[in-house]
Amino acid sequence: AQTVTQSQPEMSVQEAETVTLSCTYDTSESNYYLFWYKQPPSRQMILVIRQEAYKQQNATENRFSVNFQKAAKSFSLKISDSQLGDTAMYFCASDTGANSKLTFGKGITLSVRP
Amino acid sequence: DAGVIQSPRHEVTEMGQEVTLRCKPISGHDYLFWYRQTMMRGLELLIYFNNNVPIDDSGMPEDRFSAKMPNASFSTLKIQPSEPRDSAVYFCASSLSATGYTFGSGTRLTVV
- B25-73, pLDDT tens digit by residue? 999 999 999 999 999 889 999 999 999 999 999 999 889 999 999 999 9
- Would an 8 Å CB–CB cutoff place A47 in contact with chain B? yes
The Cα B32–Cα B44 span in angstroms is 14
DSSP B43-70: EEEEEEEETTEEEE-TT--STTEEEEEE
Residue B46 forms beta bridges with which residues? none
Instruction: Report CB contact under 8 Å: A43, B93.
Output: no
Report chain A residues whose CB lies below 8 A from the CB of B100.
47, 50
Residue B6 pLDDT more than 80?
yes
Q: Are B80 and B54 in contact (CB under 8 A)?
A: no
Q: Are A48 and A65 in contact (CB under 8 A)?
A: no
Report chain A residues whose CB lies below 8 A from the CB of B33.
101-102
Strands B101-103 and B88-95, bridge-based pairing: antiparallel
Closest approach of chain A CAs to the CA of B79, in angstroms? 22
User: CA geometry: angle at A32 spanning A26 and A37, to 5°?
Assistant: 80
Instruction: Report CB contact under 8 Å: A45, B89.
Output: no
Structure confidence at residue B13 as a pLDDT band (50, 70, 90) = very high
Asked which of A11-20, A72-81, A100-109, B10-19 is least confident by mean pLDDT, the reply is A100-109
Nearest CA in chain A to B96: A100
Nearest CA in chain A to B38: A106
Closest approach of chain B CAs to the CA of A13, in angstroms? 23
